């Protein structure tokens, strides 16, 4: 790579949705966390400013989950210091993932908050000088050290020792009560031992979340605040070893098992939408779906477990759409638009010579690339529209349009293109008086998709008609199927038919175009179906609705 402009590309991208913001946050952390001399100055300040904007919109638990990604690099002392000052979950994840040089650790550790220093005590890959510096700053492990053996005072049997534990005070969060470091004076060593054990238990104590389990476990408070999704980490055996703070007491130690899950984990494959039933407190009890990815030790490369998310199964009366295959397709398309938009933008910059003259050969190549990118984006739009229509996520407006006039005009528009092949597709019947509950732009798109698809499938010299069937309540259009489509059992199947000339069925072929037209018709209460050798479009008219509106208007005038 001669020119690394990845940071410029990310900064120019717009993050309009939750998924886009999470993706851009991860990209910026990865790029900013990899120090480069050519990224200093105004560009780096802009990147940190964008990070601040994203941090305000993305919850701390989500950011912590993104930072725990094994593929993410945090090798910048400035970024590590910034993350260490944020929420405890974010700081802990950043301190676990930071990979700094020895000199950077020695300079950074004294500047870290006390809580962030405490998170470093769990790491076993820090340089020896950094570990020594942590010890000098009083950051020690919370586990019990090796005991000192002292005799009981005043006991005749001196050979019976008493084990005393010397406990160092651990770094405390601001929310915890301070632990006294000075040992109280007691009259006996047994009293001192009791005092130290109490100090140790006090240091380990943490504030109990309202979501933590308590008796009775079926308390109604948990049911009201039941989460929709929980991030977790499990070991190679499927036992949860970490979960989000509010739900960790209820989940840690739970084993995720079952034939599908065990088989997938054995193959080290990702878990995608696998159902699982959990038992326990009301906040976690019930049916869930698991999405998780395996991760591996960065030093040995061995399988270490899974990072994932539990998603609550929607209730039967829940109006929210389920996490179906169509929803995942929409998420994938959202991710793919970013690189395609970037490619198209760079191609247009070269073709239009924005930054200076370019050879005509390069401009021609750039124009082809920009055109290909535009066609790909158009295909993405069609896929996204079909997914939203079939899942009910797309709400159509209540505008009106004359569908008969639009189809008659569209047939006239495609006639010159068909005439070059001596083919003809004509509209017959009344060319007006078909008001439907569909906006003008959407209606024209439906008409063009259907007419262009049929015209593209016609052979040279072939003739077909689109006949309007008289019906007082519906707009019914019977279209002759071209021979290439009539031979197929299912005209809505992928890959049915083809394209020719200036007319095109779209990026994904005739079958997909007809399926999309059928979804649009069904979205407004109609349908598109094959009857023998004819393709019939049926859409309800607005005659009754118009009369109702007129009647309401007359009543308002009389009032």
Identify whether the C-beta of residue 309 lies closer than 8 Å to the C-beta of residue 292: yes
> Mean pLDDT, to the nearest integer, of 57-67?
90
The predicted structure's pLDDT at residue 349: 87
Range scoring the smallest mean pLDDT among 44-53, 221-230, 504-513: 221-230
Q: Which residue has the higher pLDDT, 553 or 325?
A: 325
> Mean pLDDT, to the nearest integer, of 327-353?
83
Work out the pLDDT band at 368, boundaries 50, 70, 90. Answer: very high
Identify whether the C-beta of residue 456 lies closer than 8 Å to the C-beta of residue 505: yes
Q: Which residue has the higher pLDDT, 554 or 446?
A: 446
Nearest 5°: the CA angle 13, 18, 20 is: 25
Cα four-point dihedral sign 445, 451, 454, 458: negative
Range scoring the smallest mean pLDDT among 3-12, 52-61, 69-78, 217-226: 217-226
Cα–Cα distance for residue pair 250/254, rounded to 1 Å: 8
> Mean pLDDT, to the nearest integer, of 70-76?
85
What is the pTM assigned to this prediction? Answer: 0.42
Cα–Cα distance for residue pair 6/12, rounded to 1 Å: 10
Does the pLDDT at position 147 exceed 60?
no
As given in the structure block, the two tokens for residue 9 are 């590309």
Nearest 5°: the CA angle 325, 326, 328 is: 65
The predicted structure's pLDDT at residue 4: 62
Identify whether the C-beta of residue 262 lies closer than 8 Å to the C-beta of residue 271: no
Work out the pLDDT band at 221, boundaries 50, 70, 90. Answer: very low
Identify whether the C-beta of residue 449 lies closer than 8 Å to the C-beta of residue 513: yes
- Per residue in 282-291, pLDDT (tens digit) is 888 888 889 8
Give the up-direction half-sphere exposure of residue 365: CA atoms within 13 A in the CB hemisphere: 7
Report the percent of the chain where pLDDT is more than 90. 4
Helical ranges in 317-468 per DSSP H: 325-351, 360-391, 403-419, 440-456
Mean pLDDT score of the chain: 76
Cα–Cα distance for residue pair 405/430, rounded to 1 Å: 9
As given in the structure block, the two tokens for residue 95 are 């301190």
> Mean pLDDT, to the nearest integer, of 263-287?
84
Cα–Cα distance for residue pair 327/281, rounded to 1 Å: 30
> Mean pLDDT, to the nearest integer, of 241-266?
83
Cα–Cα distance for residue pair 467/464, rounded to 1 Å: 10
How many C-beta atoms lie closer than 10 Å to residue 93's C-beta? 25
Work out the pLDDT band at 364, boundaries 50, 70, 90. Answer: very high
Work out the pLDDT band at 505, boundaries 50, 70, 90. Answer: low
- The CATH homologous superfamily to which domain 220-312 belongs is PAS domain (3.30.450.20)
Report the percent of the chain where pLDDT is more than 70. 75
The predicted structure's pLDDT at residue 224: 46
Does the pLDDT at position 213 exceed 50?
no
Nearest 5°: the CA angle 141, 147, 149 is: 160
Q: CA Rg, the chain, in Å?
A: 33
CATH number (3.30.565.10, 3.40.50.720, 1.20.272.10, 3.40.50.300) of 401-545 reads 3.30.565.10
The predicted structure's pLDDT at residue 151: 45
- DSSP 8-state class, residue 521: H
Q: Which residue has the higher pLDDT, 299 or 321?
A: 299
Does the pLDDT at position 226 exceed 90?
no
Cα–Cα distance for residue pair 495/84, rounded to 1 Å: 53
Range scoring the smallest mean pLDDT among 173-187, 319-333, 501-515: 173-187
């Amino acid at each position: 790579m001669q020119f690394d402009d990845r940071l410029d590309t990310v900064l120019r991208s717009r993050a309009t949705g939750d998924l886009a913001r999470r993706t851009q946050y991860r990209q910026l952390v990865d790029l900013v966390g990899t120090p480069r001399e050519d990224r200093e100055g105004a560009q780096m300040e802009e990147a940190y400013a964008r990070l601040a904007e994203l941090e305000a919109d993305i919850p701390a638990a989500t950011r912590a989950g993104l930072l725990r990604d094994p593929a993410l690099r945090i090798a910048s002392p400035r970024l590590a210091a910034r993350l260490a000052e944020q929420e405890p979950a974010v700081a802990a994840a950043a301190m676990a993932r930071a990979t700094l040089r020895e000199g950077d650790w020695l300079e950074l550790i004294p500047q870290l908050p006390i809580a962030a220093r405490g998170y470093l005590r769990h790491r076993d890959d820090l340089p020896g000088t950094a570990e020594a510096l942590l010890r000098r700053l009083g950051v020690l492990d919370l586990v019990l050290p090796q005991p000192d053996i002292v005799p009981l005072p005043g006991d005749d049997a001196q050979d019976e020792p008493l084990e005393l534990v010397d406990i160092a005070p651990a770094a405390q969060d601001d929310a915890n009560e301070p632990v006294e470091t000075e040992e109280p004076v007691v009259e006996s060593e047994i009293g001192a031992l009791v005092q130290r054990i109490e100090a140790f238990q006090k240091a380990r104590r943490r504030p109990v979340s309202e979501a933590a389990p308590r008796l009775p476990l079926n308390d109604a408070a948990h049911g009201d605040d039941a989460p929709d999704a929980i991030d977790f980490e499990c070991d190679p055996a499927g036992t949860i070893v970490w979960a989000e703070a509010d739900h960790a007491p209820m989940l840690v130690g739970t084993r995720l098992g079952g034939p599908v899950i065990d088989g997938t984990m054995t193959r080290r494959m990702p878990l995608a939408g696998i159902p699982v039933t959990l038992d326990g407190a009301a906040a976690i009890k019930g049916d869930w779906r698991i999405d998780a990815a395996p991760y591996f030790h960065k030093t040995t490369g061995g399988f270490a477990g899974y990072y994932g998310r539990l998603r609550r199964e929607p209730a039967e009366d829940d109006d929210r759409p389920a996490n179906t295959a169509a929803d995942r397709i929409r998420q994938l398309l959202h991710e793919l638009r970013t690189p395609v938009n970037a490619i198209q933008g760079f191609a247009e910059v070269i073709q239009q010579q924005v930054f200076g003259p370019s050879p005509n050969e390069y401009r021609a190549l750039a124009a082809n690339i920009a055109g290909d990118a535009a066609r790909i984006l158009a295909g993405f739009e069609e896929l996204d529209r079909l997914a939203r229509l079939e899942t009910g996520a797309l709400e159509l407006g209540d505008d009106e349009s004359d569908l008969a006039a639009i189809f008659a005009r569209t047939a006239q528009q495609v006639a010159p293109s068909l005439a070059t092949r001596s083919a003809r597709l004509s509209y017959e019947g009344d060319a007006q008086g078909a008001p439907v509950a569909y906006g003008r732009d959407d209606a024209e798109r439906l008409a063009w998709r259907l007419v262009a698809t049929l015209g593209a499938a016609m052979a040279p010299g072939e003739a077909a008609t689109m006949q309007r069937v008289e019906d007082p309540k519906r707009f019914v259009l019977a279209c002759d199927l071209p021979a290439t489509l009539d031979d197929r059992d299912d005209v809505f199947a992928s890959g049915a038919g083809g394209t020719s000339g200036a007319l095109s069925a779209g990026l994904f072929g005739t079958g997909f175009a007809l399926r999309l037209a059928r979804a649009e018709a069904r979205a407004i209460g109609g349908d598109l179906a094959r009857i023998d050798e004819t393709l019939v479009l049926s859409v309800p008219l607005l005659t009754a609705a118009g009369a109702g509106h007129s009647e309401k208007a007359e009543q308002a005038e009389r009032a």
